[in-house]
Structure 1
Amino acid sequence: MPARFWLFFSARTVSVLGNAFGPIALAFGVLALPGTTPTTLGVVLAAQGVPQLGLLLLGGVVGDRFSRYRVLVSAELLSGTAYAGLAAMILTGWAPIVMLCAAAFVAGAASALLLPSLTGAVVETVPGDSLQKANGLLRLGTNSARISGVVAAGATVAWLGPGVALAFDAATYLVAAGLLSALRLPASVRANRRDLRGDLRVGWREFASRPWLWSTVAAAGVINAASTAALGVLGPVLARDRLGGAMAWSLVLAGYAAGMLVGVAVAIKFKPRRPLPVAILFTPALALPLLALGFVAPLPLVVLAAFGAGIAMDIFGVLWDTIMQTEVPADALSRVSSYEYLVSSSLKPAGALVAGHVAVQFGPAVGLLLFGGLMLLAAAGALAHPAVRHHPPRPHPGVQS
């Protein structure tokens, strides 16, 4: 692998290490504030999700128009600033809901800037025949970091408080920005474009012309909304009430991350003849931890269910990233990725808001069962689409490596 890949690898690993602290620290930090409820947490998470939806398309245009490593540096710096603000509020106890939502909004905007450029940046760091290996190695590093991060986050929240955990998260974004600032990606896929609407139209045409792409991404939108509701709101509430708090919840997330690590190890060598339908076959397993939590299974069984879901998640993820990178032209990849993220994230704020109300009205266990069933229906719907079910591997002739 080229040296620039390992620099990119290091930056992503550090960023994810700190980011693993975020969900646990934010959830338990908000829930510990005086007068807050699960609905409050849902509102804060929705505030983070809304700018992702509103700015993702712009992030895709920026990623295709400007140097991607500079875009990534800017996004990491913005994330560091947002989480530093959240840490300060939780640490001082001065945390008006409006200010929490404002900081979460900035974090969501940074994510909208970062996500579309990640897929394209990988294409620019390795030769085309090494993409699946590169995607696997990246997930291997980030999943290892995620395991360490969620375990350390649970301990940090339990012993030092969520504010300290959020401060650590903020610091890692700044370290990642420093590493990425040394990265120099080639500019071969850049074009001198100044027409924003034209850029968006091209990205939409590339996205909409591939039924296998938009049908899979539509199903992912439902699955991601259910995951946000479960892992962002309902799971932490149930963990606080019945499983033992932040440390128990961190073990569940660690099981998930450990499964992702195993999934990557499989996916690096796994080369099915028809990767897309095979990848979709793994997605029903994502509902396992939701169902285990909903039935209030013992903690070890919940962790085991999360482990199985993690394996499925990263087998799907590595195959999906490679399909995208080989079938979508490199000079449109950030824009197509922005439409992908927009559709797949479109229901996340609604999921967070609905989850808060469901937790209050019916209890978190009922909500987890409902959202787990929704995941299963979405996975079945994706596989039922002929464009997905019969999709063969067809490398795009215009891909640049």
Structure 2
Amino acid sequence: MNRGLAALGDRNFRWFFLARAITMVTGSMSSIALAFAVLQIDNDPVSLSLVLTAFTLANIVFVLFGGVVADRLPRALVIQTCYVIDILSLGTIAYLLFTDTATIPIVVALAAVNGASTAFVLPAMQGIIPQLTRPENLQQANAMLSFVRSAVTIGGPVIAGILVTTAGPAWAMVVQIVGWLVAIPILAMVKLPPPAGDGRFSLFADLRVGWSEFWSRSWLVVVVFAFMIMNAIHVGAWGVVGPYIAKNDDRLGIAGWGWVVSAEGVGVLLMTLVLMWFPMKRPLRLGMIGISLFAIPLTMLGVHPAVVLVAIAAFLAGAGAELFSTGWNVAMMENIPTEKLSRVSSYDMLGSFVVMPIGTLVYGWLITHADPAVVLTTSGILYAAIALVTLFVPSVWKMGRVEAATVRG
């Protein structure tokens, strides 16, 4: 089979890829549908922030428990069960919208249910991929999944906007529900051996094992702690200050910001194609260099926010982000025992995401008390410095690929 599509030669990966692609396509409009659903109920940004906060906090609270469950139970079954929960929670919101009986407190509660469900899905997704394909195909498998994700990130919001405008947010939710309904029986075609272990379940003992696996690897600890700060900068500087600049600086404008975000997505998409064919010999070294490129559009946004220049910089940053994403996934999957991968991934997710809400609040305050140009250029310098300083850690700089015969697990 063509090298770039070699992972499709594995039956289990084919079924998983099909199910995942369907849910990514139908789910690409979920954030827009939920946002406009909330604003349809109560046209108040505070209500929207409450719903999004409920989702995020539930995800953070349950992600470690999700990692334990995904290591102890069949991962495909965990994913299917969470899809059923998502169908019920999102279906309830859609029903309440159709009947004009939705209220913000109910939507907040259901968003929390959906966030908790996602906390189980993500570690299971991370842990299942090495079980689906041969070790030599791990990079291609991750790149293929990234290709679909980036493609729908570019086109999904456009389709969602049209559907929400013409039919309403409830119908966009129905589309996602259909995606989950289709994916559940497809995932049943994935046949994997039972999880390793003695069958005994102890939450705290399993969490200690996961923590030990996490803390024993310097490359893992250093990169996760770096992203604890980098993600806070990203979500604050890019997610809060970026739209503010777009709205208030005619050199960029709201339409221009759309082009910038799309250019970033195109960069991700094209890099996934490259990585499907060309192996990464030093996944972490390339990944951290790649992710540092985000400092370029961040700085450019502060110094000279012209559409073309920021879009070109965002394109480069998108390509660099995909270098990191695939390199990081390959490093994790090749160096962490498969039976512990979901738990270790949950610590990665917790560390990487826990400070993001603080980043949003901090930058919301900074933008009202300091010059946006100073805030963004300082953030760009800090972001690049944190990313590149990790390269001084020998295990990050020197890590190569694990031979197929010796992949952990």
Aligned pairs (5 A) from 1:153-302: 153-157=160-164, 159-187=166-194, 189-229=196-236, 233-235=240-242, 251-294=259-302, 297-302=305-310
Q: How many residues align?
A: 398
The alpha-carbon deviation at position 15 of structure 1 amounts to 1.6
The alpha-carbon deviation at position 307 of structure 1 amounts to 2.5
CA spacing shift, 1:239–1:20, aligned 2, 3 Å: farther
3-state DSSP of counterpart to 1:194: coil
Structure 2: runs of 5+ lacking an equivalent: 1-8
- Alpha carbons 1:45, 1:349 under 8 Å: kept: no
Superposed CA offset, 1:46-83 (max 9, x none): 32221222111111111110000000112223334444
2:16 paired with 1:13: no
The alpha-carbon deviation at position 153 of structure 1 amounts to 2.7
The alpha-carbon deviation at position 257 of structure 1 amounts to 2.5
Give 1:137's aligned residue. 144
Superposed CA offset, 1:109-155 (max 9, x none): 11110111112211111122221222222222332333331332344
- Alpha carbons 1:295, 1:369 under 8 Å: kept: yes
Give 1:151's aligned residue. 158
3-state DSSP of counterpart to 1:282: helix
Give 1:63's aligned residue. 70
For the pair shown, the structure with the greater C-alpha radius of gyration is 2
2:57 paired with 1:50: yes
The alpha-carbon deviation at position 93 of structure 1 amounts to 7.1
Give 1:314's aligned residue. 322
Superposed CA offset, 1:217-252 (max 9, x none): 11122222333335655555666677776x776654
The alpha-carbon deviation at position 164 of structure 1 amounts to 4.2
TM-score (norm 2): 0.83
CA spacing shift, 1:224–1:155, aligned 2, 3 Å: farther
- What's the % identity of the aligned pairs? 33
TM-score (norm 1): 0.84
Distance in 1 between the 2:374 and 2:106 partners? 31
The alpha-carbon deviation at position 97 of structure 1 amounts to 4.3
Match 2:112 to one of 100, 105, 109: 105
Distance in 2 between the 1:135 and 1:345 partners? 21
CA spacing shift, 1:366–1:190, aligned 2, 3 Å: farther
The alpha-carbon deviation at position 347 of structure 1 amounts to 1.1
The alpha-carbon deviation at position 167 of structure 1 amounts to 4.2
- Alpha carbons 1:294, 1:365 under 8 Å: kept: yes
Distance in 2 between the 1:32 and 1:301 partners? 36
CA spacing shift, 1:85–1:118, aligned 2, 3 Å: same
CA-based RMSD of the aligned residues comes to 3.4
Distance in 1 between the 2:52 and 2:355 partners? 12
Distance in 1 between the 2:55 and 2:184 partners? 21
Give 2:6's aligned residue. none
CA spacing shift, 1:163–1:244, aligned 2, 3 Å: farther
- Alpha carbons 1:189, 1:330 under 8 Å: kept: no
Distance in 2 between the 1:192 and 1:90 partners? 43
- Alpha carbons 1:68, 1:117 under 8 Å: kept: yes
Q: Which moved more, 1:163-172 or 1:133-142?
A: 163-172
- Alpha carbons 2:41, 2:103 under 8 Å: kept: no
Superposed CA offset, 1:88-115 (max 9, x none): 6677776654334323222221111011
Distance in 2 between the 1:372 and 1:106 partners? 36
3-state DSSP of counterpart to 1:375: helix
- Alpha carbons 1:258, 1:307 under 8 Å: kept: yes
Q: Which moved more, 1:285-294 or 1:312-321?
A: 285-294
Distance in 2 between the 1:85 and 1:358 partners? 38
Structure 2: which amino acid aligns with 1:378?
A: I
Distance in 2 between the 1:49 and 1:367 partners? 26
Give 1:3's aligned residue. 11
Distance in 2 between the 1:181 and 1:353 partners? 42
CA spacing shift, 1:188–1:103, aligned 2, 3 Å: closer
- Alpha carbons 1:7, 1:179 under 8 Å: kept: yes
Superposed CA offset, 1:163-189 (max 9, x none): 544443444333333432332222263
- Alpha carbons 1:69, 1:181 under 8 Å: kept: yes
